[in-house]
Amino acid sequence: MKGKTRVVNVGGVMLGGGNSVKIQSMCTTKTADVNATVEQINRLEGAGCDIIRVSVLDESDAKAIMSIKDRIKIPLVADIHFDYKFAIASIENGCDKVRINPGNIGGEAQIKAVADCVKAHHIPVRVGANTGSVEKEYLAKYGKNEYSLVESALHNVRILEREGIEDIVISVKASSVSLTVAAYTLLSERCDYPLHIGVTEAGTEEMAIVKSSAALGALLLRGIGDTMRVSITDDPVKEVYAARNILRAVGLEKNYVDVISCPTCGRCMWNSMGLAQKITQRVRNIKKPLKVAVMGCVVNGPGEAKDCDIGIAGSRDYCIIFRGGEIIKKIPSANAEEAFMQEIEKLLND
Ligand code: SF4
The CATH number that applies at residue 299 is 3.30.413.10
Q: Compute the distance from residue 326 Cα to the ligand 1 centre, in Å.
A: 19
Residues 239 and 269 both lie in one domain: no
Residue nearest to atom 2 of ligand 1 (CA): 297
Residues 51 and 148 both lie in one domain: yes
Distance CA 300, CA 295 (A): 8
Residues 173 and 295 both lie in one domain: no
**pTM attached to this predicted model:** 0.93
Q: Is residue 21 part of a domain?
A: yes
Task: Please report the atom of ligand 1 found closest to the CA of residue 267.
Answer: 3
Ligand 1: residues with CB < 6 A are 262-265, 267-268, 295-297, 299-301, 304
Domain endpoint, select from 232, 249, 266? 249
Q: Compute the distance from residue 300 Cα to the ligand 1 centre, in Å.
A: 6
Q: Compute the distance from residue 294 Cα to the ligand 1 centre, in Å.
A: 10
The CATH number that applies at residue 143 is 3.20.20.20
Q: Which residues contact 247 (CB under 8 A, 6 or more apart)?
A: 21, 23, 220, 228, 253
Q: Are 60 and 83 in contact (CB under 8 A)?
A: no
* Cα–Cα distances in angstroms (integers) from residue 317 to residues 267, 274, 298, 313, 328, in the given order: 13, 17, 11, 11, 17
Weakest-pLDDT range from 2-6, 123-127, 143-147, 240-244: 2-6
Q: Is the pLDDT of residue 187 over 60?
A: yes
| Beta bridge partner(s), residue 126 | 99, 169
Residues 343 and 321 both lie in one domain: yes
Per-residue pLDDT, 305:
77
Residues 194 and 262 both lie in one domain: no
Q: Is residue 99 part of a domain?
A: yes
Task: Please report the atom of ligand 1 found closest to the CA of residue 298.
Answer: 2
Q: Is residue 2 part of a domain?
A: no
Nearest to 77 by CA among 139, 151, 22: 22
Taking CA 94 as the corner, what is the angle to CA 91 and CA 98, rounded to the nearest 5 degrees?
Answer: 45
Q: Are 54 and 78 in contact (CB under 8 A)?
A: yes
Residues 271 and 126 both lie in one domain: no
Per-residue pLDDT, 301:
74
Residue among 260, 294, 300, 322 whose CB has most ligand 1 atoms within 8 A, to mutate = 300
Residues 120 and 79 both lie in one domain: yes
SS3 content of the chain, % helix, strand, coil (to 5): 45, 20, 35
The string of DSSP letters for 74-143 reads S-EEEE--S-HHHHHHHHHTT-SEEEE-GGGS-SHHHHHHHHHHHHHHT--EEEEEETTT--HHHHHHH-
Q: Which tens digit of pLDDT belongs to each residue from 135-169?
A: 889 999 999 999 999 999 999 999 999 999 999 99
Q: Is residue 212 part of a domain?
A: yes
Residues 125 and 274 both lie in one domain: no
Q: Is residue 1 part of a domain?
A: no
Q: Is residue 288 part of a domain?
A: yes
Residue nearest to atom 1 of ligand 1 (CA): 301
Task: Please report the atom of ligand 1 found closest to the CA of residue 266.
Answer: 8
Taking CA 208 as the corner, what is the angle to CA 204 and CA 212, rounded to the nearest 5 degrees?
Answer: 165
Per-residue pLDDT, 2:
61
Rounded mean pLDDT of 227-247?
Answer: 97
Q: Is the pLDDT of residue 254 over 90?
A: yes
Residue among 260, 268, 275, 333 whose CB has most ligand 1 atoms within 8 A, to mutate = 268
Residues 143 and 261 both lie in one domain: no
Task: Please report the atom of ligand 1 found closest to the CA of residue 296.
Answer: 3
Residues 179 and 263 both lie in one domain: no
Residues 242 and 267 both lie in one domain: no
Q: Is residue 3 part of a domain?
A: no
Q: Which residues contact 39 (CB under 8 A, 6 or more apart)?
A: none
Residues 282 and 179 both lie in one domain: no
Domain endpoint, select from 249, 274, 293? 249
Distance CA 77, CA 96 (A): 6
Residue nearest to atom 3 of ligand 1 (CA): 296
* Domain count across the chain: 2
Q: Compute the distance from residue 297 Cα to the ligand 1 centre, in Å.
A: 5
Q: Is residue 109 part of a domain?
A: yes
Domain ranges, residue 37: 8-249
Q: Which tens digit of pLDDT belongs to each residue from 290-303?
A: 999 999 998 877 77
Q: Compute the distance from residue 313 Cα to the ligand 1 centre, in Å.
A: 9
Domain endpoint, select from 217, 249, 281? 249
